[in-house]
């Protein structure tokens, strides 16, 4: 039950990223600063931190696939990167989840790695031709600010829900 609600939340966030958030960010920042909402990725990192690498891998694969199909046209880029992020954050799950600051640090590092991987792949397949320094200052930094605020806001509720979820599943 908790798992179902959690997954439903992620899907709602997936829809919100492209609709509600766009209404409030699209017109204000012209081309120069782009804040990309990565709420789904933030939730995925939380999930991987508390549920382990295998679940992180599969959740990343599935949500990435949905992201690819709905918001992109090339299938595979987000599925691959999200799966990798889910797997590698899942590797540190026993160590880092004790301390909330370490969780935030993990989210930050994973987001940076994720953005760079997506940027690299998008450049590789010629979807974009953005310079590295423009990407770094105009896109990566605003994106990190937006998503770290989101991560701070949801970290406590997400931790409680995920710990409850893990306990429920261990009982069964």
Partner 1 sequence: MPSFFSNRRLIVLLVSTIVMVMVVGVTLKERPQPTWGEQFIRDTFGFFQSLAYKPARQVAGFFETINEWRTLYSENQRLKANLQENAKLMARIRELELENESLKEMLEVESNLSEYTLQAAEVISRSPDRWYQQVTINRGAKHGVEANMAVITTEGLIGRVKSVSQFTSQVELLSDVNRTIHISAIVQGQEHIFGVIEGYDLERGALLFQKVPKDTPLEEGQTVITSGMGGIIPRGLYIGKIIEVVPDQYDLTQSALVEPAANLYHLDYVFVVERSSLPPVDIPVSAEDKEGTE
* Footprint of partner 1 (CB under 8 A): 14-24, 26-27, 30-31, 34, 36-37, 66, 69-77, 79-80, 83, 91-92, 95, 118, 121-122, 125-130, 134, 139
For the record, the structure tokens of 100 come out as: 């909330």
Considering beta carbons, is residue 21 or 47 the nearer one to partner 1?
21
Considering beta carbons, is residue 109 or 127 the nearer one to partner 1?
127
On whether the CB atoms of residues 60 and 44 are closer than 8 A, the answer is yes
* Least separation in angstroms between CB 139 and partner 1: 7
Considering beta carbons, is residue 29 or 156 the nearer one to partner 1?
29
Residues in CB range of 21: below 8 A, 6 or more apart: 37, 39
* Least separation in angstroms between CB 105 and partner 1: 16
On whether the CB atoms of residues 106 and 155 are closer than 8 A, the answer is no
* Least separation in angstroms between CB 160 and partner 1: 26
DSSP structure class, residue 35: P
* Least separation in angstroms between CB 96 and partner 1: 11
Our measurement of the distance from residue 39's CA atom to the centroid of its chain's CA atoms, rounded to an integer in Å, reads 5
CA gap 125, 110 in Å, rounded: 23
CA gap 48, 54 in Å, rounded: 8
Considering beta carbons, is residue 22 or 164 the nearer one to partner 1?
22
């Amino acid at each position: 039950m908790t798992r179902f609600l959690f997954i439903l939340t992620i899907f709602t966030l997936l829809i919100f990223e492209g609709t509600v958030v766009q209404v409030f960010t699209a017109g204000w920042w012209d081309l120069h600063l782009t804040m990309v909402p990565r709420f789904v990725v933030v939730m995925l990192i939380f999930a991987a931190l508390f549920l382990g690498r295998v679940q992180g891998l599969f959740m990343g694969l599935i949500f990435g696939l949905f992201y690819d199909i709905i918001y992109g046209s090339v299938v595979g880029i987000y599925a691959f990167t999200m799966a990798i992020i889910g797997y590698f954050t899942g590797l540190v799950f026993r160590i880092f989840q004790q301390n909330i600051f370490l969780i935030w640090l993990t989210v930050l590092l994973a987001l940076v790695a994720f953005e760079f991987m997506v940027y690299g792949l998008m450049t590789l397949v010629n979807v974009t031709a953005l310079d590295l320094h423009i990407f770094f200052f105009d896109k990566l930094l605003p994106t990190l600010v937006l998503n770290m605020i989101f991560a701070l806001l949801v970290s406590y509720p997400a931790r409680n829900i995920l710990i409850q979820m893990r306990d429920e599943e261990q009982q069964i």
